[in-house]
C-alpha cells in the first residue's frame, strides 16, 4: 500500500489546476444585461467611457425594434445576505422620437450613453478590452479559438435575479484579416432569438476581451411544394453571425465624437 501511494501522488500532481479563466468570465457576465420592451428582448453590454460615464453596446436592430421613448433594463443589485436581487430600470432610448443611439453606417452595431443604477452590480468593459484589428494580425485571435457568449436566448435568464446565460463556442471563420474582407464572422454556437447584441468574449492573457458582437443566426431555408400545400422550412445551422470588434470600436468612436445635444 505505501508503494502504491508513492506512485499515485506524483501523478495527481501533474494534473492542471482549475482554470484561471473563471474570474474573467464573471466580468463578462457582470457587464451584460437584458433590454426589453413589450414582446421584444435583446442582450446588451456596458463599456466604460474614457472620460468617465458609461455606454451601452448592442445590435442596432434590437434598439430599433424597441418602441417608445424608454426600454426596460434588467440589472442585478449588489450582493446582500439574500444574494443578488433583480433590478429593473427604465432606460431612455429616444428623445422626441429621435434615437439616442449611434448606428454604424452599414453594420448592425449601435452605441448609446447610459446612466447606471447606483446599486447595480455591473463591471463594465474598459475600452481597451474591445479588441483592435492588431489582435488578429498578431494571431492572438484566430480560427478555432474558444469564446464565451453571455446572452438571453429566447428571453431566458439564469435565475430570478436576471443574470445572463453563459454559452460557449469557437471562432469558425478563417481568415480574420484583413478586416475589410472579414467585417462579419461566424461563431460556432447555437444562437437563438434574444441573443442579438451579445458580446463574444475570448480570454486572452487572463483577461476578457470582446472580439465580436452577435447580431444574427445562419440558417438553411428549404421550400417544399406539394399538390395542395407549399411550405418553407428554416433549419438553424448552429452558427451565429457576428461583427468583429474593431467595428464596435469605430462605432464607439463615432458616438463619442458627436456633439453633446445639451451643449449650445
**Cell numbers placing 165:** 446565460
For residues 76 and 87, the answer to whether their CB atoms sit within 8 Å is yes
Is the pLDDT assigned to residue 163 strictly greater than 50? yes
Is the pLDDT assigned to residue 152 strictly greater than 90? yes
**Cell numbers placing 113:** 450613453
E strand or H helix that includes residue 62: helix 60-65
Q: Are strands 146-151 and 165-171 parallel, antiparallel or unpaired?
A: antiparallel
For residues 33 and 73, the answer to whether their CB atoms sit within 8 Å is yes
Whole-number Å distance between alpha carbons of 252 and 87: 26
Per the listing, cell 469558425 goes with 172
The conformation of residue 154, written as its DSSP 8-state character, comes to G
Per the listing, cell 458616438 goes with 255
Spell out the SS3 assignment of 83-140: ECCEEEEEEECEECCEECCEECCCCCCEEEEECCCCCECCCCECHHHECCHHHHHCCC
For residues 45 and 57, the answer to whether their CB atoms sit within 8 Å is yes
pTM, 2 dp = 0.84
For residues 44 and 33, the answer to whether their CB atoms sit within 8 Å is yes
Per the listing, cell 453590454 goes with 45
The average pLDDT across 248-254 equals 97
Class of domain 22-257: mainly beta
* Per-residue model confidence as pLDDT tens digits over 171-210: 999 999 999 999 999 999 988 888 999 999 999 999 999 9
Query: For the chain, how many helices (H) and strands (E)?
Result: 5, 15
The length of the chain, given as a count of residues: 264
3-state secondary structure of 156: coil
What's residue 117's pLDDT?
A: 87
Question: Binning pLDDT at 50, 70 and 90, where does residue 235 land?
Answer: low
The conformation of residue 80, written as its DSSP 8-state character, comes to B
The conformation of residue 77, written as its DSSP 8-state character, comes to B
* Per-residue model confidence as pLDDT tens digits over 85-106: 999 999 999 999 999 999 999 9
Is the pLDDT assigned to residue 22 strictly greater than 70? no
Sheet containing strand 86-92, strands side by side: 86-92, 70-76, 32-37, 40-48, 54-58, 110-114, 102-103
What's residue 3's pLDDT?
A: 46
For residues 141 and 135, the answer to whether their CB atoms sit within 8 Å is yes
Whole-number Å distance between alpha carbons of 100 and 72: 15
Amino acid at each position: 500500500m505505501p508503494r502504491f501511494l508513492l506512485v499515485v501522488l506524483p501523478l495527481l500532481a501533474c494534473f492542471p489546476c482549475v482554470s484561471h479563466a473563471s474570474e474573467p468570465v464573471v466580468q463578462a457576465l457582470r457587464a451584460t444585461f437584458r433590454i426589453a420592451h413589450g414582446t421584444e428582448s435583446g442582450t446588451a453590454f456596458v463599456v466604460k467611457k474614457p472620460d468617465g460615464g458609461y455606454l451601452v453596446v448592442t445590435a442596432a436592430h434590437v434598439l430599433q425594434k424597441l418602441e417608445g421613448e424608454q426600454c426596460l433594463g434588467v440589472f442585478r443589485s449588489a450582493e446582500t445576505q439574500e444574494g443578488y436581487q433583480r433590478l429593473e430600470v427604465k432606460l431612455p432610448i429616444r428623445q422626441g422620437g429621435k434615437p439616442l443611439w449611434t448606428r454604424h453606417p452599414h453594420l448592425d452595431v449601435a452605441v448609446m450613453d447610459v446612466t447606471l443604477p447606483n446599486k447595480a452590480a455591473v463591471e463594465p468593459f474598459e475600452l481597451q478590452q474591445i479588441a483592435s484589428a492588431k489582435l488578429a494580425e498578431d494571431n492572438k485571435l484566430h480560427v478555432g479559438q474558444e469564446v464565451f457568449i453571455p446572452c438571453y436566448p429566447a428571453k431566458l435568464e439564469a435565475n430570478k435575479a436576471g443574470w445572463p446565460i453563459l454559452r460557449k463556442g469557437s471562432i469558425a471563420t478563417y481568415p480574420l484579416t484583413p478586416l475589410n474582407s472579414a467585417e462579419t464572422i461566424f461563431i460556432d454556437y447555437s444562437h437563438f432569438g434574444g441573443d442579438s447584441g451579445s458580446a463574444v468574449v475570448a480570454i486572452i492573457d487572463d483577461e476578457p476581451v470582446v472580439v465580436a458582437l452577435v447580431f444574427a443566426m445562419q440558417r438553411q431555408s428549404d421550400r417544399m411544394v406539394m399538390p395542395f400545400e407549399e411550405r418553407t422550412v428554416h433549419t438553424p445551422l448552429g452558427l451565429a453571425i457576428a461583427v468583429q470588434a474593431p467595428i464596435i470600436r469605430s462605432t464607439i468612436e463615432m458616438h463619442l465624437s458627436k456633439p453633446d445635444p445639451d451643449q449650445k
